Amino acid sequence: MRIIAGLAKGLPLHVPCGRDVRPTSDRVRGAIFSSLGDRVIGATVLDLYAGTGALGLEAASRGARSVAFVENSAVVLRSLEKNLAAFRRNRVVDCEFRVTRVRPAGAFDLIFADPPYGDAAQELLNDKSLTAALTADGTLVLESAKRSALVVPAGWLVERDAVYGDTRVSFLRRRPEAG
């Protein structure tokens, strides 16, 4: 695994052994960031279920202003911290980083969420505080299992939905009337 574009292009990422993490593949990350285009530049980013930090670090490499990573697994958190240290050591990127175990307060331009496959993606979509965590024109990029149909709650608009292998990537925006 590596950063695929931007200032940190080619930087290898540490991935822990075992089933504690399912990193977003280079192919899927490339498709996500191709769809986002210039929305990444200057964005405030939240990387939920951060794992290796690949999505947040890719955003930083492509010009995000700040990235907050949320990860609960101690084993995976060590890999994320190794990746952040390597990123800081090897690349000059003007980006503020935060690592936490709980979702920080505030509004974000981009939220990446790659929860464990199963019901977690649906539970996350149903969490009303998630819509409040996005700026008015912000985007949620949600990864889920292809085989799991998501029921999109009334507060969300699906901007784009794509399938790559076993992974479904949904780009969602909050409805203007959603709080």
Residue 151 is given by DSSP the state -
Q: Where are the domains of the chain?
A: 27-174
Reported as a single tens digit per residue, the pLDDT across 30-54 is: 999 999 999 999 999 999 999 899 9
Percent of the chain whose predicted confidence (pLDDT) is above 70 = 94
Q: What is the value of pTM for the model shown? A: 0.91
Q: pLDDT tier at 93 (50, 70, 90 boundaries)?
A: low
CATH for 27-174 (3.40.50.150, 3.30.2420.10, 3.90.1150.10, 1.20.20.10): 3.40.50.150
Burial class (CB in 10 A: 0-12, 13-18, 19+), 63: middle
Reported as a single tens digit per residue, the pLDDT across 119-144 is: 888 999 998 888 889 999 999 999 99
Q: Is the pLDDT of residue 179 over 80?
A: no
Q: How many CB atoms lie within 10 A of CB 25?
A: 14
Mean pLDDT calculated for residue range 71-99: 83
Helix, strand or coil, per DSSP, at residue 55: helix
- Residue 81's pLDDT is what? 92
